[in-house]
Amino acid sequence: MKETKFYLITDTHYFAPELGCSGPEYDDFMHYEQKCFAETASINRSVIDYLKEAKDADNVLIAGDLTFNGEMESHKQFIALLRELKGSGKNVYVVTADHDFKVNNDAFAFGENGRYTPESAKREELWEMYSEFGFGKAIAEDREHLSYVAQLGEGVRLLALNSDFKKKGNQHFKDEQFEWIKEQAEKAREDGQMLVAMNHYPILGGQPLMALIEPMSVRDSHKTATFLADNGIHLIFTGHMHNQSINVMETEKGNKLYDVCTGAIIADPAYIRLVTIKDEKTVDIKSIPTPDFDFDTKGKDCKQYLSDLFDNMIVNVFTDMRDDTVRAMNKFHIKNDPKIRFGLKMAGKFVCGVKLSTLGRLLFIKCPKSLKKVTLLRYATDVVRHMFEGNQPFVEGTDEGELFIAFLKRINPILKKIDLKNPDGTKADLFDVLKNTAGNYGIDDYNATLILK
């Protein structure tokens, strides 16, 4: 096989701005939103322009959620961008996901009279709509499940998967899909081909805490990861969680699966991956920041603009718990019970008002001098944002990390009583889970060399 390179982006969530993205109802929607809406066309334009000129690879992979909510006009405009990219000499391969169609036509936009429902695409239309971008180049196809195999390079095949069928609230692969995947893996081995996969939904949880929450990865994730690895698929590229992470699992047979999850280009963290498959054992991963884009960002660069949007979402939740409790309850579909309302209000007041020095005294924990004036809200916001950004910095040896570990030690007797299961069915060690969620002690989530075998 020859060295094969490609760029990868995910969660483009393109929205046609002409459909409408302004007004009081739009502002109310964005109050709790982590990803951009009105800005997505500009961000996608900047990324496509960058990739058109990028010289390190001729292949571009896009791992699903191509549009905001499947609006037909958004699809038309995004496809036009992809044609530009293809016209620059790039080979484009996409998979679709549940944001690319709506069963009940429940896409939405914001016009002069508030929120309304524009025309949206149907799932059965997507194969033909995106036939120019992978589906039409298939050397094997599974149309029912919108999956295909394409020749990515000499000796390297792409297994482009779709697991958008929902079971008890989150996506999964059907039994017949597993059979088709096994057939493709066997055919690749017979032909002397390396098979790498792309699926929108993560197989392995992006962070240890995410791995315990099923909707944050495919259903039966341990079973799925084991199946892929034991069938010779050791590398998969995913998105969905708007999370930057690289995780690995080893099966009982000693086979590895690496899940390289990439942040959305329209939300923090926003990155492009450059992947180099050196040989069947060695893969280099590099991350490139999403370029600045043409929009009124109030003088902020892309990174700061998207980071601030993420932080505002967290801050708005807690300040509304304090100041507008009913609004927060309505947003998260919490029953408007007076006792619950009072509890949430008190929790909001505490998180927004208490400083880490006060929290330390309450828990008999020594607070580092550098953090004494920091509010719990600021600290908690940073913990959550870093969980999505990857390479979480709250590790041993840092003031922030030592404080977090001291807090975990204080509450560990409670954590031990909580019976949560790992994806493999074993009891989760919540102390270890939370420690490794706030601090990255494993693979670099941005730039790494992966040894597949």
Query: Mind listing the pLDDT tens digit for each residue in 100-109?
Result: 998 777 899 9
Give residue 214's pLDDT: 76
Which 8-state DSSP code applies to residue 370? G
Sole residue written with tokens 């980071």: 307
Query: 355 - beta bridge partners?
Result: 375
pLDDT band, residue 215 (cuts 50/70/90)? confident
pLDDT band, residue 169 (cuts 50/70/90)? low
User: Would you state the structure tokens that stand for residue 288, as one six-digit string?
Assistant: 């490139």
What are the E-state strand segments in 181-255? 194-199, 235-238, 245-250
Q: What is the separation of C-alpha 9 from the centre of its chain, rounded to a whole number of angstroms? A: 11
pLDDT digits (tens, 9 = 90+) for 80-93: 999 999 999 999 99
The b/e string for 77-110 (b: 16+ C-beta within 10 A; e otherwise) is bbbebbeebeeeebbbbbbbbbbbbbeeeebbbb
pTM: 0.95
Count of C-beta atoms within a 10 Å radius of residue 296: 10
The chain-wide mean pLDDT, for the chain, equals 95
Q: Are 368 and 385 in contact (CB under 8 A)?
A: no
Portion of the chain with pLDDT greater than 90, in percent: 92
Q: What is the spatial distance between Cα 62 and Cα 182, in angstroms, rounded to a whole number?
A: 23
CATH 3.60.21.10 domain span(s) along the chain: 4-292
Second CATH level (architecture) for the domain 4-292: 4-Layer Sandwich (3.60)
pLDDT band, residue 44 (cuts 50/70/90)? very high
What are the φ/ψ torsions at residue 108 (nearest 5 degrees)?
-150, 155
Per DSSP, the residues of 96-142 read: --GGG--TT----EEETTEEE---B--GGGHHHHTTTTTGGG-SEEE
pLDDT band, residue 218 (cuts 50/70/90)? confident
Q: What is the spatial distance between Cα 300 and Cα 305, in angstroms, rounded to a whole number?
A: 6
